[in-house]
Chain A
Amino acid sequence: MSWVTKTFSSTLGRKLLMALTGLFLILFLIGHVSGNMLLFKDDGGQAFNEYAKFMTTNPAVKILSYLTYISIIGHVIFAIMLSVRNKKARPVNYAEAKSGTNSSWNSRNMGILGTIVLIFIVVHLQNFWAQMHWGAIPTVTYESGEYKDLYAVVNLAFSNIGLVALYVVAMAFLAFHLNHGFASAFQTLGLNHKKYTPAIQFIGSAFSIIVPAMFASMPIFIYFSSLN
Chain B
Amino acid sequence: MNLTLKVWRQKNSSDKGGFVNYNIADISEDMSFLEMLDVLNEELSEKGEDPVHFDHDCREGICGMCSLHINGKPHGPQQTTTCQLHMRSFKDGDTITIEPWRAAAFPVVKDLVVDRGAFDRIIQAGGYVSVNTGGVPDANEIPIPKKIADEAFDAATCIGCGACVAACKNASAMLFTSAKISQLAMLPQGKVERKERAEKMIAQMDEEGFGACTNTGACSIECPKGISLTNIARMNREYFSAIVSSENV
Q: Are B236 and A190 in contact (CB under 8 A)?
A: yes
Knowing A12-B239, A94-B69, the reply to whether A187 touches B210 (Cβ < 8 A) is no
Chain A residues with CB under 8 A of B189: none
CB distance from B152 to the nearest CB of A (A): 16
Q: Are A99 and B169 in contact (CB under 8 A)?
A: yes
Q: Are A187 and B229 in contact (CB under 8 A)?
A: yes
- Chain B contact residues, majority secondary structure: mixed
Report the Cα distance A16→B210, complex, angstroms: 17
Partner of A11, one of B169, B206, B221: B206
Q: Is B222 an interface residue (CB 8 A)?
A: yes
Q: Are B218 and A82 in contact (CB under 8 A)?
A: no
Knowing A3-B243, A12-B239, A88-B104, the reply to whether A184 touches B99 (Cβ < 8 A) is no
Knowing A11-B206, A86-B211, A86-B212, the reply to whether A92 touches B237 (Cβ < 8 A) is no
Per the CB 8 Å criterion, the residue count for chain B at the interface is 48
Q: Is B34 an interface residue (CB 8 A)?
A: no
Report the Cα distance A98→B166, complex, angstroms: 12
Q: Are B243 and A94 in contact (CB under 8 A)?
A: no
**Contact surface of A with B, Cβ cutoff 8 Å:** 2-3, 6-7, 10-16, 82, 85-86, 88-99, 101-104, 107-108, 110, 180, 183-184, 187-192
Chain A residues with CB under 8 A of B232: 187, 192
A-B pairs, 7 with minimum CB distance? A192-B233, A89-B211, A190-B237, A98-B72, A86-B170, A103-B216, A86-B211
Q: Are A189 and B236 in contact (CB under 8 A)?
A: yes
Chain B residues with CB under 8 A of A101: 73, 221
Report the Cα distance A103→B172, complex, angstroms: 15
Chain B residues with CB under 8 A of A103: 169, 216-218, 221
Q: Is B214 an interface residue (CB 8 A)?
A: yes
Q: Are B104 and A91 in contact (CB under 8 A)?
A: yes
Knowing A82-B212, A102-B222, the reply to whether A3 touches B217 (Cβ < 8 A) is no
Residue in chain A with minimal CB distance to B231: A192
Q: Are B209 and A10 in contact (CB under 8 A)?
A: no
Over the window 222-247 of chain B, the binary record of Cβ atoms lying under 8 Å from chain A Cβ atoms (1 yes, 0 no) is 10000001101111110110010000
Chain A residues with CB under 8 A of B230: 192
Chain A residues with CB under 8 A of B218: 99, 102-103
Q: Is B112 an interface residue (CB 8 A)?
A: no
Q: Are B215 and A90 in contact (CB under 8 A)?
A: no
Q: Is B81 an interface residue (CB 8 A)?
A: no
CB distance from A43 to the nearest CB of B (A): 44
Q: Are A7 and B19 in contact (CB under 8 A)?
A: no
CB distance from B53 to the nearest CB of A (A): 17
Partner of B233, one of A10, A92, A191: A191
Chain B residues with CB under 8 A of A12: 202, 212, 235-236, 239-240
CB distance from B204 to the nearest CB of A (A): 11
Q: Chain B CB within 10 Å — which of A94, A96, A102, A184 has the most?
A: A102
Chain B residues with CB under 8 A of A95: 6, 8, 19, 97, 99
Q: Is B102 an interface residue (CB 8 A)?
A: yes
CB distance from A117 to the nearest CB of B (A): 16
Q: Is B129 an interface residue (CB 8 A)?
A: no
Instruction: Pull 17 A–B residue pairs with CB atoms less than 8 Å apart, ordered by A.
Output: A3-B248, A11-B174, A11-B205, A12-B202, A85-B211, A86-B170, A88-B209, A89-B172, A89-B210, A94-B72, A94-B99, A102-B221, A188-B213, A188-B236, A189-B240, A191-B233, A192-B232
Chain A residues with CB under 8 A of B171: 86, 89-90
Q: Are A184 and B215 in contact (CB under 8 A)?
A: yes
Knowing A102-B221, A187-B229, the reply to whether A89 touches B105 (Cβ < 8 A) is yes
Q: Are A10 and B203 in contact (CB under 8 A)?
A: yes
Q: Is B131 an interface residue (CB 8 A)?
A: no
Knowing A88-B104, A89-B171, A102-B221, the reply to whether A10 touches B202 (Cβ < 8 A) is yes
Report the Cα distance A13→B240, complex, angstroms: 8
